[in-house]
Amino acid sequence: MTEHEKMLAGYLIYDPFTEGMPEERTKAHRLCKLYNVQISTSLDGPEFIHNYNRGRIDSYSRVVKGIHNARTYVGHSNVNALMTTSTLGVNYPIEIVDEYVKLGFRGIFLRALNTYGLASENENWEEYTNRFIEFYKTALSYIIDKNKKGVFSQRLLFCFQ
């Protein structure tokens, strides 16, 4: 392994949508396997939510394709996703959990919007926070039910800022 490859292994940023040269993708995939790299992407829920949040009509299909491609190279359990609960997403806790189950994820990270970046334009943080708490309660109850049936094997993670 060259010094450059060793350096890349520690700092590799993997983009499953890369349309670069095939040999570049192959080298990145080989490094990911060699060093047991884990890949994370953003998935905000079902297609209509994800595409709305990302502002692209093909964002969901690209993410799902990337998830499947990455799993073939680094293994199913080494690919994870996280979602951000948008003002649209707070209305669909069951559908979001079901999307993660449908795509074969064994855990879900429910994350609220934060007050900076693009989300800072939210007009009513108090209303959003109250809606997110209800979203979270509903999703958690549903996940607990799924856990009882053996669907999720990992702990549910929650981040609230």
Residues 57-113 have pLDDT tens digits of 999 999 999 899 888 878 888 898 988 898 999 999 999 999 999 999 888 888 888
What's the whole-number average pLDDT of the chain? 78
Residue 150 CB neighbour total at 10 angstroms: 7
Q: How many helices (H) and strands (E) does the chain have?
A: 6, 4
Split at pLDDT 50, 70, 90, the class of 13 is: very low
Please report, rounded to a whole number, the percentage of residues in the chain having pLDDT higher than 90: 28
Residue 148 CB neighbour total at 10 angstroms: 9
Q: Which residue has the higher pLDDT, 13 or 131?
A: 131
The answer to whether residue 161 scores a pLDDT higher than 60 is no
What's the rounded Cα separation, in Å, for the pair 11 and 15?
A: 13
Q: What is the DSSP letter of 155?
A: P
Displacement of CA 56 from its chain's centroid (Å): 17
Average confidence (pLDDT) over 36-56: 90
